[in-house]
Amino acid sequence: MLARRARGVSTGKDAWYGMGIQTELIGGIEVLHHGGSVNGYKSDWLVIPKARIGAVLLTNGDNGRPLVTAFRRKVMELLYDARPEADAYVSAEAKRIDEQLATERKTIQRTLPQDRGPAEHYTHPLLGNITVHRANGATIFDFGSWSTEVGAKADPAAMGGYDYVSIAPSEIDDLAFIPGQDASTRTMTLRDDQHVYVYRETGAP
């Protein structure tokens, strides 16, 4: 355990990464921590060896990261009578996140044009099928094991002039499907940093 805490890669002023453990000096006090996240969740644990205490923080939202940072600071404030900063940081981050989401929502149209909307079924040889459902003005992309509501976001390069983007609470604009056409077959293209996936219109799976 001590070897895992050895200074490896610098991650900032008075902060470094070892082997699966991050170390940070806050006011000269050593704090060990490490977190993890998936869509909709964020977690972290911390240990303060000098104080002989530890804690685990679990959040059920992508925007839980500011709480993780503020929690470490708040613990130090309570233990060592440090200058109070955590509460103001949480308030400022909450305001920033609300403003960011409001800005993102303004760029997305929830109701898709019915005459230019997606086909009912698409498939990809590796990623599987997408079934498109419409109900109460909403358009749902169902991938089988999970689903998300999508909206339209302007994209001059896309067929029809917009992409289909996820608008579920934890995935706003995280996924963008670009409509297109290959000969007479409608397509939807999904890109990440290293791959391009082209879904093709099919009959019902």
End-of-domain residue from the set 106, 140, 164: 106
Instruction: Check whether residue 42 and residue 53 sit in a common domain.
Output: yes
User: CA-to-CA distance for 46 and 35, rounded, in angstroms?
Assistant: 9
Instruction: Check whether residue 68 and residue 115 sit in a common domain.
Output: no
Instruction: Check whether residue 118 and residue 96 sit in a common domain.
Output: no
The pLDDT of residue 114 is 63
The pLDDT of residue 155 is 87
The pLDDT of residue 80 is 92
Instruction: Tell which residue, 191, 154, 150, has the closest CA to residue 173.
Output: 150
What's the pTM value of the predicted model, to 2 decimals?
0.69
Inform me whether the pLDDT recorded for 115 exceeds 80. Answer: no
Q: How confident is the model at residue 183 (pLDDT cuts 50, 70, 90)?
A: confident
User: CA-to-CA distance for 9 and 21, rounded, in angstroms?
Assistant: 11
Q: Domain tally for the chain?
A: 2
User: CA-to-CA distance for 153 and 179, rounded, in angstroms?
Assistant: 11
Instruction: Check whether residue 9 and residue 55 sit in a common domain.
Output: yes
The pLDDT of residue 77 is 93
The answer to whether 33 and 46 are in contact (CB under 8 A) is yes
User: CA-to-CA distance for 203 and 205, rounded, in angstroms?
Assistant: 6
pLDDT tens per residue, range 148-182? 999 989 888 888 888 999 887 666 667 899 999 99
Rounded alpha-carbon distances, angstroms, from residue 160 to 137, 163, 166: 19, 8, 17
The alpha helices in the chain, defined as continuous H runs, are 65-80, 86-106
The pLDDT of residue 1 is 84
User: CA-to-CA distance for 186 and 164, rounded, in angstroms?
Assistant: 14
User: CA-to-CA distance for 137 and 52, rounded, in angstroms?
Assistant: 55
Instruction: Check whether residue 92 and residue 120 sit in a common domain.
Output: no
Instruction: Check whether residue 123 and residue 78 sit in a common domain.
Output: no
The answer to whether 164 and 179 are in contact (CB under 8 A) is yes
The pLDDT of residue 41 is 85
pLDDT tens per residue, range 25-70? 988 899 999 998 887 788 999 999 999 999 999 998 778 889 988 9
End-of-domain residue from the set 82, 106, 130: 106
User: What range defines the domain where residue 98 resides?
Assistant: 3-106
Instruction: Check whether residue 131 and residue 187 sit in a common domain.
Output: yes
Instruction: Check whether residue 72 and residue 116 sit in a common domain.
Output: no
Q: How confident is the model at residue 137 (pLDDT cuts 50, 70, 90)?
A: confident
